[in-house]
Amino acid sequence: MSETPWRGVFPIAPTPFHPDGRLDFASLDRLIDHYAAIGADGCTILGILGEAPKLDGAESLDIVRRCVTRWRAPFIVGVSAPGFAAMRSLARGALDAGAAAVMIAPPSHLRTDDQIVTYYAQAVEAIGADVPFVIQDYPLTLSVVMSPSVIRRIVMDNPSCLMLKHEDWPGLEKISTLRGFERDGSMRRVAILTGNGGLFLDFEMERGADGANTGYAFPEMLVDVVRLSAAGRRDEAHDLFDAHLPLLRYEQQPGVGLAVRKYVLKRRGVLSSDAQRKPGAGLTPAARAEVDYLLARLARHDERAALLL
Amino acid sequence: MSETPWRGVFPIAPTPFHPDGRLDFASLDRLIDHYAAIGADGCTILGILGEAPKLDGAESLDIVRRCVTRWRAPFIVGVSAPGFAAMRSLARGALDAGAAAVMIAPPSHLRTDDQIVTYYAQAVEAIGADVPFVIQDYPLTLSVVMSPSVIRRIVMDNPSCLMLKHEDWPGLEKISTLRGFERDGSMRRVAILTGNGGLFLDFEMERGADGANTGYAFPEMLVDVVRLSAAGRRDEAHDLFDAHLPLLRYEQQPGVGLAVRKYVLKRRGVLSSDAQRKPGAGLTPAARAEVDYLLARLARHDERAALLL
Amino acid sequence: MSETPWRGVFPIAPTPFHPDGRLDFASLDRLIDHYAAIGADGCTILGILGEAPKLDGAESLDIVRRCVTRWRAPFIVGVSAPGFAAMRSLARGALDAGAAAVMIAPPSHLRTDDQIVTYYAQAVEAIGADVPFVIQDYPLTLSVVMSPSVIRRIVMDNPSCLMLKHEDWPGLEKISTLRGFERDGSMRRVAILTGNGGLFLDFEMERGADGANTGYAFPEMLVDVVRLSAAGRRDEAHDLFDAHLPLLRYEQQPGVGLAVRKYVLKRRGVLSSDAQRKPGAGLTPAARAEVDYLLARLARHDERAALLL
Amino acid sequence: MSETPWRGVFPIAPTPFHPDGRLDFASLDRLIDHYAAIGADGCTILGILGEAPKLDGAESLDIVRRCVTRWRAPFIVGVSAPGFAAMRSLARGALDAGAAAVMIAPPSHLRTDDQIVTYYAQAVEAIGADVPFVIQDYPLTLSVVMSPSVIRRIVMDNPSCLMLKHEDWPGLEKISTLRGFERDGSMRRVAILTGNGGLFLDFEMERGADGANTGYAFPEMLVDVVRLSAAGRRDEAHDLFDAHLPLLRYEQQPGVGLAVRKYVLKRRGVLSSDAQRKPGAGLTPAARAEVDYLLARLARHDERAALLL
């Protein structure tokens, strides 16, 4: 595990579909090629915004195989499932296919600290202690709140825990607290890549995050902000981030965000269709016009958006 | 569909496991034989209390095939899933194997009336309008509240809806309201079989339920109460029900109920083991002693419990 | 605080209203007199089932004053509130009026162990460390799950914590665990009185509870079961409990339970009206007939019910 | 009611406290004067971000009286309460003191369409049909989801409903749908002012909102964007909005947003202290430095921020 660079930008890949609901592998290829071309460091597939629950087991593994064959980079595969049998099947299958790690979200009924810690212990037992895994900490959607001390317990109890996908909200202090645990010696170093749709990436990097693990229709911005921030070029990082923030914010609306993301990726020529499997929201003409307007405004600041004019 | 008797007692079958977590088909055979022997009218498998989420897809279909081969009775198969692809796979597979119908619970994030109605419409589109289905209305666990008018909309929109598994709480008025919809002509007749662990079966039958669709370690009681009630022998029905109520109540504790059920079924010689797959609660020695005490007390009233002394 | 007997039965008192919604103090007097007459050890007022949120501040204090004047027994006053200012006002007012302690439920948004512990620390700071208080642990309604170790932290951090109103579900092992904490010296002795509508009182006593802190239209049963159990007369305790269980179970249906309780207390001549303030459920004629039937059946076993024939 | 302009900007006022927790009326005066000076059209007090649940009844009315005396503008008073008695007391007191309307949020346990509609009917019965009221539609925090048809039912059932405080998420289509109801004649005209911390104000205005009803440390921006948008100066509205978006976004983090708002208002000389009553989050030095950095960046675009340098 040691040589994999768990830092930088791991985009959360949407899953491309044809309008009739079939998997669109040609679009998937273009999407993965795009990530490779812009300098992403890896990729997360089959996450919530990857519509993972809408796939059956065979489709999920087909996607994993296609991706790892296409690009020699570390892939993280979402394996959250209502039970450990399905989680184990997908996790072992993904690793066998060449994935680098899996991502596990807690089920929404968990409440107490002990329940959360026990859940991760049982998940590790199910998938095998040799499978590197990522904790997904996403209370806004999952309804499970993990205090920093709970994350520390999971990290210290499970050597196979390699990363925290951080998307608590508010979360900046959480990053600082966890980095403090490392400094005071109570927690080993673990990668922290941030989600939250990138809405706080500018400051997350300054608080000690190792990069971004989120989706956005211009993942180039994520790559650039992470690099500028890592290079200490603070104002430039914020300038670029702020230029994208109006669109980024629009794309992060729960319930409609994925439709925006796919629509823009289609306009960019990456996806052939912005179709989602049911249940999935589409964009109304009014919403598409709003996105187009935001793209036109973004084009004043970012040449990659200017290509769409 | 017309000749299937959607009435009487359809026990919710637990899924038998060996202590090492493998499926225990010999115990499953004995369990199904037991249901047949006591006069049950059908059976529901792969429900929540059947630990369905802990099975993978192949195991689920193996269980369906084993059951329908063992007993020529209508089987209802739980197909609730986080997405429609998995739901469709299991539903089509179950029907192909010989199941009579499927049961669908709403996912816990649904809130408004329209969201619930839309969900069932999409589920029917996914599994096919030719697949008979049962609505599972279980707010205590699922957090989704369906008003009687929502149930009516689902029933009227979907001719393939054959039954309501009623386990709202309180629920007696709901049965009366739905039967009133039928009488006033605003809803077609649909079977109502009740869950709630049987805790209100005595009065549910009197309110118009067609039977019971729940688990209990003495399903004989469910069969007898339903028959006595249908025959108008009210006091006898209540006498038998009341004799079981102390144990029934103990078995319905959320979080520990399934452990009680499997323990008693093991004591009765039906299951070889009371093992659950993880995550699953076991009984402490104190709890086992409490169950034993309840069984001894029950033995004064019911000869089937007396056999355990 | 030391001489108050925090054990035995503290009924949860409903709040009597006239049909027009005004407080009915004459019925309140009869209710309190009834508790005194049957040998209750104290009383909890202004709990959830006491419709406390439907009262304004002045009414709440009027009820406290009326009760403590009527009966020289320890009264516990529910002071749960959306903020600490209102909690403090009611708590200080209640203590000044002569109440013995207050009861505090956690607000439903609390999730992590630390959030719960911090909440109680802030509540104690608000009401004053000199005010004895009861923890209300009621996840079914409050959505807050307190592990035994969290309860231990609250007990050990706050010397003014005198009692746990236990109504977790399942909860028998929780009582055993907490008593184990006392035995191993990690937690000081605290009274445990049980709620859960009394549905598990038979075994709660055997697990180490000090008594009952719940509502039921025949609180005499609670008193008798607690005494029989304390005297080691196990079978008699269960016999009496089982005779009441059909009605007890009916009365504990969420959403309709209070209507049943008030209806029976009215039939018993304790309350003049079974009115609730809005929002509140009433009993349909069908439900009243079901309760009457249960009372008639109970009358075969309990002379206090026989008086109603 | 007819002459009150239910349009434009009604800032959500924070409640100023001294560091020791007492109400700070001098700061409240400056805050209200500030709203008047910048051209706000009215003001909402005692909302969730106004820390209303932390006040007792007397304090709430003191704040109402102070505000309406200070500024002759329409004040909306949050009266959400766990029960109707407290809601009625505050609503009647507020109107008697000179408030123009009240705002009512649904309690978080409501689920079905009928439950929500019934709740508002009972609330109107409690406060009186002569009291103008605002619906607060805020699922992210309140967990209650109101479909457009439910809002229509509330509006049509209750003539005293004057406004929707819209903060659903996503919400742009909801505005369009409701305006469509008005056009097709199925709903009477009702004011729609938007919340969501202003994060979508740019497009909300274009979808048909009448203005903003939210908090932000630079309410001047809200006023300007609403005016520019109303005047059809779209690009200018977006330019100003986008300049503020980095800070606006930072201020809208659940759990820390109010601390940011009070900190900036203190830096602007409006509040003497950024204290909150418990439970309340403070800003760490790192967070304050981040806000200061955002203010410095904002100063390049907005002279009102430049004053802070």
Q: Give the gap in angstroms from C-alpha D110 to the nearest C-alpha of chain B.
A: 9
User: What is the rounded distance in angstroms from the CA atom of residue B71 to the CA atom of residue C106?
Assistant: 51
Alpha-carbon dihedral angle through residues D285, D287, D293, D298, given to the nearest 10 degrees: -140
- State whether A111 and C115 contact (CB < 8 Å): no
Between chain B and chain C, the number of residue pairs with CB atoms below 8 A apart is 69
Other C-beta atoms closer than 10 Å to the C-beta of A26 total: 12
Residues 228-287 of D with CB under 8 A from A: 238, 241-242, 245-246, 249-250, 253-256, 284, 286-287
Contact status of D122 with chain C (Cβ, < 8 Å): yes
Residues of D with Cβ-Cβ distance to A202 under 8 angstroms: 246
* Pair of tokens at residue A110: 């968990």
Cα–Cα dist C140/D282, whole Å: 32
**Taking CB atoms and an 8 Å limit, are C246 and B249 in contact across chains?**
no
Decide if B278 and A59 are in contact by the 8 Å CB cutoff.
Answer: no
A59 contacts in chain B (CB < 8 Å): 85
Q: What pLDDT score does D4 carry?
A: 66
The contacts of residue D229 (CB under 8 Å, 6+ apart) are D202, D205, D206, D237
- Taking the C-alpha atoms of residue A296 and residue A264, their distance in angstroms, rounded to an integer, is 12
* Displacement of CA D159 from its chain's centroid (Å): 22
pLDDT at B208 over 80: yes
Contact (CB<8Å) D115/B145: yes
Average pLDDT over residues B183-191: 97
Cα four-point dihedral sign C25, C27, C33, C34:
negative
| H or E element, residue A242 | helix A234-251
The region of weakest confidence among A7-11, C29-33, C55-59, D240-244 is: C55-59
Kindly list the residues from chain A whose CB atom is less than 8 angstroms away from the CB atom of residue B86. Answer: 53, 56-57
Q: Do A126 and B82 touch (CB under 8 A)?
A: no
Cis geometry, peptide bond prior to residue A279 (ω within 30 degrees of 0)? yes
**Quick check: A160 and A124 in contact, CB under 8 A?**
yes
Q: How far is Cα D271 from Cα D215, in angstroms, rounded to an integer?
A: 14
Residue C233 confidence (pLDDT): 98
Sign of CA dihedral C121, C124, C129, C132: negative
pLDDT at C10 over 90: yes
Per-residue confidence (pLDDT) for residue D33, from 0 to 100: 98
Residue with tokens 């019934």: D118
Confidence band for C140, pLDDT divided at 50, 70 and 90: confident
| Partners of D45 in the β-ladder | D77
Whether residue C147 lies within 8 A of chain A, CB to CB, comes out as: yes
Please, which residues have CB within 8 angstroms of residue A249's CB and are 6 or more apart in sequence? A199, D199, D200, D245, D249
DSSP letters, B182-208, are: HHTTSS---EEEE-GGGTTHHHHHHHT
Mutation site for C-interface testing, chosen from D61, D84, D144 by largest number of C Cβ within 10 Å: D84
Residues A172, D254: C-beta atoms closer than 8 Å? no
The dihedral of CA C155, C158, C161, C166: what is its sign?
negative
Chain C residues whose CB is inside 8 A of the A146 CB are 112
Average pLDDT along chain D: 96
Name the phi and psi angles at B212, rounded to 5: -120, 140
Nearest CA among C127, C177, C128, C169 for reference residue C148: C177
Spatial distance between the Cα atoms of B255 and C250, rounded to a whole number of angstroms: 22
Instruction: Give the sign of the dihedral formed by CA A233, CA A234, CA A239, CA A245.
Output: positive
**CA A163 distance to own-chain centroid:** 12
DSSP A10-47: --BPPPPB-TTS-B-HHHHHHHHHHHHHHT---EEESS
Separation of alpha carbons C234 and C246, rounded Å: 20
Map residue B77 onto helix, strand or coil.
strand
Nearest to B245 among C200, C207, C246 (CB): C246
The alpha carbons of chain D give a radius of gyration, in whole angstroms, of: 19
Closest by Cβ to C238, choosing from B284, B286, B297: B297
DSSP C99: -
Touching subunits of A (3+ CB pairs, under 8 Å) are: B, C, D
Greater pLDDT, A170 or C248: C248
CB atoms within 10 A of CB B29: 16
Of residues C114, C145, C149, nearest to A111 (C-beta): C145
Rounded to an integer, the average pLDDT of B141-151 is 95
Helix (H) or strand (E) run with residue B228 in it: helix B219-230
| pLDDT one-digit tens code per residue, A56-113 | 999 999 999 999 999 999 999 999 999 999 999 999 999 999 999 999 999 999 999 9
B54 touches chain A (CB under 8 A): yes
Instruction: Check if D110 contacts B (Cβ < 8 Å).
Output: no
Q: Is D44's pLDDT higher than 70?
A: yes
pLDDT at A51: 95
Average pLDDT, chain C: 96
Q: What is the mean pLDDT of chain B?
A: 96
Please check whether residue C132 is in contact with residue C101, taking contact to mean a CB–CB distance below 8 angstroms: yes
The predicted pLDDT at position B3 comes to 56
C109-129: b (≥16 Cβ within 10 Å) or e: ebbbbbbbbebbeebbebbee
Closest residue to A55, CB basis, from B56, B85, B277: B85
Task: Report residue B4's pLDDT band, with 50, 70 and 90 as the boundaries.
Answer: low
Q: Beta partners for D12?
A: D44
Mean pLDDT (chain A) is 96
Interface test with C, best of B138, B169, B196, B300 (most C CBs within 10 A): B169
Q: According to the model, what pLDDT value does residue C3 have?
A: 56
Per-residue burial over B148-163, b = 16 or more CB atoms within 10 Å of its CB, e = otherwise: bbbbbbbbeebeebbb
Flag whether residue D114 sits within 8 Å of chain B, measured between CB atoms: yes
Chain D residue at shortest CA distance from A249: D199
D22 interfaces chain B, CB cutoff of 8 Å: no
Main-chain dihedrals φ then ψ at residue B9, nearest 5 degrees: -115, 120
Paired strand residues for D135: D104, D164
Reply yes or no on whether the pLDDT at B116 is more than 60.
yes
Place of tokens 């569909």: B1
Q: Tell me which residue in D170, D203, D297 faces A254 most closely, judged by beta carbons.
A: D170
| Amino acid A141: pLDDT | 87
pLDDT of residue C4: 66
CA distance C50 to chain D (A): 13
CB contact under 8 A, A278 and B125: yes
Residue by residue, pLDDT tens for chain A (309 residues) are 445 679 999 999 999 999 999 999 999 999 999 999 999 999 999 999 999 999 999 999 999 999 999 999 999 999 999 999 999 999 999 999 999 999 999 999 999 999 999 999 999 999 999 999 999 999 988 999 999 999 999 999 999 999 999 999 889 999 999 999 999 999 999 999 999 899 999 999 999 999 999 999 999 999 999 999 999 999 999 999 999 999 999 999 888 999 999 999 999 999 999 999 999 888 999 999 999 999 999 999 999 999 998
The string of pLDDT tens digits covering residues B264-283 is 999 999 999 999 999 988 89
Q: Is the peptide bond before C170 cis (omega within 30 degrees of 0)?
A: yes
Is A145's CB within 8 Å of C114's CB?
Answer: no
D191-206 pLDDT, tens digit per residue, is 999 998 999 999 999 9
Q: Is the pLDDT of residue B166 over 90?
A: yes
**Does residue D68 contact residue D43 with C-beta atoms inside 8 Å?**
no
Is the pLDDT assigned to residue D3 strictly greater than 80? no
Whole-number Å distance between alpha carbons of D150 and D138: 14
Of the candidates D53, D56, D85, the beta carbon closest to that of C55 is on D85
Looking at the complex, report in whole angstroms how far the Cα of residue D256 sits from the nearest Cα belonging to chain A.
Answer: 7
pLDDT at D2 over 60: no
Q: Does D147 sit within 8 Å of B113, measured CB to CB? A: yes
Helix or strand or coil: residue D193?
strand
Is A113 within 8 Å of chain C by CB?
yes
Chain B residues whose CB is inside 8 A of the C255 CB are 169-170
Task: Please state, for a pLDDT cut of 90, what percent of chain C lies above it.
Answer: 92
Q: Return the DSSP state at B133.
A: E
For residue C231, how many C-alpha atoms fall within 13 Å in the half-sphere facing its CB? Answer: 11
Question: What is d(CA C227, CA C241) in angstroms, rounded to the nearest whole number?
Answer: 12
pLDDT the model gives residue B254 = 82
Task: Look at residue D1 in the predicted model and tell me its pLDDT.
Answer: 42
